[in-house]
């Protein structure tokens, strides 16, 4: 833990400038494609339109990616473990939530011709897509891979080559999007289980994320080649920033949850003596999500000092029950 990513370039010079230009071009193209699709969807169905909040969410996600990949965070991620961890949080947790809540798949299905939309829908219902979209699989890809990354030489090997660094960021982004989609995404998800199962997966992610950060802070099973002070500060970034991101994901689940009404019996038209008792009350989503989060938090303590609880931000979105 006394070397800083040996063998890796510092992200400056002509190579770093080219990477920055390519990043700006890709993010600009993604924003233009999404806004063009929104315009087409509104022209095709002016009554239904498209939510401005979803468009803003997509642009916010791209802005977070730009913050993570461009200077000053981008170059710092190559030479400083704290910069790497800040980039990891932005690319793997914050940007995916904003991008997923923009419902890009739903938008795509609205603007595609009917034949292509049917083929896309069939692809979404295929076995590989259903498997990748399951919360347990997404949890293993996103949170489960962190233990392997930070407790083995894998991180140092990836940081030793520019291509490895970009592949690592791509993994953070894709796995983060899969997990956010599986837990609280508004896009269609044929294999998505009920809310209780998703809350369990979110609770497991919260606990595992915290345990990895605590182990890193204490120097246990750490395979990172960086100064000990940087590793501890990087662990703090992972712990606190991860908590905030997971709170936002829980808020998104609460905001997009539309409980199904079960056990409702229809009275005959002439029945004036029906019982006044109705179906059992459905637990409030906010109570369930907060209870799940409190249970996961009860098993752990912060690695250093106390911290204040931040406000729970609500995120707009709708889940299409399939």
pTM of the predicted structure, to 2 decimals? 0.77
Angle (deg, nearest 10), helices 162-184 and 195-218: 140
**Pairwise CA distance, residues 262 & 192, whole Å:** 19
Q: Report, in this order, helix, strand and coil percent for the chain, each rounded to 5.
A: 65, 0, 35
CA distance 121 to 119: 5
Helices 52-69, 81-89: inter-axial angle, 10-degree rounding? 170
CA distances for 50 relative to 4, 58, 61, 252, 312, angstroms: 47, 13, 18, 19, 26
Q: Give the model's pLDDT for residue 191.
A: 78
If the chain, 322 residues long, is cut into consecutive pieces of 10 residues, what is the mean pLDDT of each piece? Answer: 48 71 97 97 92 97 97 92 96 97 96 94 92 93 92 89 91 96 92 89 95 92 88 96 95 79 50 44 47 49 46 38 40
Tell me how far apart the alpha carbons of residues 60 and 232 are, in angstroms, rounded to a whole number. 30
| Dihedral over Cα of 247, 248, 251, 257: its sign | negative
**Predicted pLDDT at 15:** 62
């Amino acid at each position: 833990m006394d070397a800083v990513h040996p063998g890796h370039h510092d992200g400056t010079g002509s190579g770093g400038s080219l990477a920055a230009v390519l990043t700006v071009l890709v993010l600009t193209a993604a924003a233009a494609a999404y806004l063009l699709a929104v315009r087409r969807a509104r022209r095709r169905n002016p009554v239904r339109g498209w939510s401005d909040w979803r468009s803003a969410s997509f642009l916010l996600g791209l802005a977070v990616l730009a913050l993570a990949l461009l200077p000053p965070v981008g170059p710092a991620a190559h030479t400083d473990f704290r910069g790497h961890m800040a980039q990891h949080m932005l690319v793997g947790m914050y940007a995916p939530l904003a991008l997923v809540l923009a419902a890009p798949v739903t938008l795509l299905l609205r603007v595609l011709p009917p034949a292509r939309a049917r083929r896309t829908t069939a692809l979404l219902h295929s076995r590989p897509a259903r498997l990748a979209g399951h919360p347990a699989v997404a949890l293993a890809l996103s949170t489960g891979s962190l233990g392997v990354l930070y407790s083995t030489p894998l991180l140092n090997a990836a940081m030793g080559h520019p291509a490895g660094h970009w592949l690592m960021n791509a993994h953070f982004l894709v796995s983060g999007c899969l997990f956010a989609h599986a837990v609280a995404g508004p896009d269609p998800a044929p294999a998505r289980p009920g809310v209780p199962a998703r809350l369990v997966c979110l609770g497991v992610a919260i606990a595992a994320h915290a345990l990895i950060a605590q182990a890193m802070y204490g120097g246990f099973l750490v395979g990172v080649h960086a100064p000990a002070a940087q590793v501890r500060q990087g662990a703090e970034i992972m712990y606190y920033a991860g908590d905030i991101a997971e709170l936002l994901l829980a808020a998104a689940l609460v905001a997009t949850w539309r409980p199904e009404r079960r056990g409702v019996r229809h009275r005959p038209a002439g029945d004036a003596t029906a019982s006044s008792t109705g179906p059992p009350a459905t637990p409030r989503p906010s109570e369930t999500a907060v209870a799940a989060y409190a249970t996961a938090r009860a098993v752990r303590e912060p690695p250093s000092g106390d911290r204040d609880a931040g406000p729970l931000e609500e995120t707009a979105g709708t889940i299409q029950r399939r």
